[in-house]
Amino acid sequence: MLRVLLTDPIDASGEELLRARGAEVVLAPDGSAATVKRLASEADGVIVRSKLPDDIFEAAPRLRAVTIHGTGTDLVPLASANANGVPVANLPGENAHSVAEYCVMAMLMLARNICAITAAMRVRTWDEARPLSVPAREIAGLTLGIVGVGEIGARLAKMCCNGFGMRVLGHQRRLDRLPPEAQGVGLDDLLAQSDFVVIACPLTPETRHLFNEARLGAMKSSAWLINVGRGPVIDETALIDALHTKRIAGAMLDVYEHYRIHAGHPLFALDNVILTPHLAGSTRESRARTSVRAADETLRMLAGEKPRNLVNPEAWNERRPENR
């Protein structure tokens, strides 16, 4: 019987598809490297939502397929996957609408100072909480800068331009491929002009610490930063300093330099940052879509068929013999 490991829970519809096709589904009880490697050693395929250990393929020679429950290829050690002939698939666009809606929510929460007001309502008087709305802004007419205008960025640009009347700037390597709602500009111009900066780009050697001390310093002091891309795109030490000194107005983060942040992290001590645990794309609708497609792609690879979105084509001809 085929065995598929889930590093994190997926929607029941995806599990049902796997079982209907004769696969045994195993859910990792925790995300530790030791647990994942132990369970992966007895699995044929794995569906991942958090980072795999760097030596996963050496520890799990039976693995013949990896499906990323989303888009982040940094969750898988691709060089090792290639060397070991393990095909990897991802699912671009499946949760794009949910992530774009999260970004809109983030802008509204930051602009209206919602977290501070809600906290004050619990411990202070009505009259003490109301003045916290004084700095609130309408987002209509403000400028949104999107770094990485892929599926998520394009949907966000459309929502904000057409729905809120915002001016939208976009930056990526190919400015000629931006949607009509976004005006292409260089990164320096985007930072200088934007009231909100949304990071939606992938993690690559070029984007690691793209937002360093200098780039954070180039933002407006009244601007807010939102990261739904990958945590290491931001130099977290520089961001903490920029938030602590109020060099920027605030931030909302869904991803972090190290995948899980724990109690005592310096970000928790700041009053101008909103933190969520990598859930921007996690809605009932997107989880159902993504889980079914992740299951289908995994089964496709285990049957020796090429997935619809193969991340590492160089590994296809080097597949482990059992998967040819």
pLDDT tens, position by position, 238-251: 999 999 999 999 99
Q: Right CATH number for 3-93+284-323 from 3.40.50.880, 3.90.1170.50, 3.40.190.10, 3.40.50.720? A: 3.40.50.720
Q: Which amino acid is at 318?
A: E
212: confidence class by pLDDT, cuts 50, 70, 90: very high
CA distances from 215 to 1, 219, 239, 257, 306 (A): 52, 7, 10, 17, 41
Write out the chain in H/E/C secondary structure: CCEEEECCCCCHHHHHHHHHCCCEEEECCCCCHHHHHHHHCCCCEEEECCCCCCCHHHHCCCCCEEEECCCCHHHCCHHHHHHCCCCEECCCCCCHHHHHHHHHHHHHHHHCCHHHHHHHHHHCCHHHHHHHHCCCCCCCCCEEEEECCCHHHHHHHHHHHHHHCCEEEEECCCHHHCCCCCEECCHHHHHHHCCEEEECCCCCCCCCCCECHHHHHCCCCCCEEEECCCHHHECHHHHHHHHHCCCCCEEEECCCCCCCCCCCCHHHHCCCEEECCCCCCCCHHHHHHHHHHHHHHHHHHHCCCCCCCECCHHHHHHCCHHHC
Residue 132: is its pLDDT beyond 80? yes
**CA of 117: how far to CAs of 110, 123, 189, in Å?**
11, 10, 33
What is the pLDDT at residue 318? 75
Q: Which two tokens stand for residue 42?
A: 């007895």
Q: Are strands 196-199 and 250-253 parallel, antiparallel or unpaired?
A: unpaired
User: For the domain 96-275, what is the CATH code?
Assistant: 3.40.50.720
Between 96-111 and 284-302, two packed helices, what is the crossing angle to 10 degrees? 150
From 146, 118, 122, 144, select the one nearest 132 (Cα to Cα). 118
Identify the residue whose tokens are 């049902």.
Answer: 16
Residue 323 scores a pLDDT above 60: no
149, 172 contact by CB (below 8 A): yes
Count the neighbouring beta carbons within 10 Å of the beta carbon of residue 313.
Answer: 10
The two structure tokens encoding residue 301: 């690879």
pLDDT digits (tens, 9 = 90+) for 149-207: 999 999 999 999 999 999 999 999 999 999 999 999 999 999 999 999 999 999 999 99
**What confidence category does residue 324 fall into, taking pLDDT thresholds of 50, 70 and 90?**
low
How many residues in total does the chain contain?
A: 324
Query: In whole angstroms, what is the distance from residue 149 CA to residue 172 CA?
Result: 7
Paired sense of beta strands 143-147 and 183-184, if any: unpaired
Mean pLDDT of 76-80: 96
Q: How far apart are the first and last CA of the chain?
A: 17
pLDDT in tens, 112-130: 999 999 999 999 999 999 9
Beta bridge partners of 170: 146, 184
Q: Are 307 and 89 in contact (CB under 8 A)?
A: yes
Numbered ranges of CATH 3.40.50.720 in the chain? 3-93+284-323, 96-275
pTM: 0.85
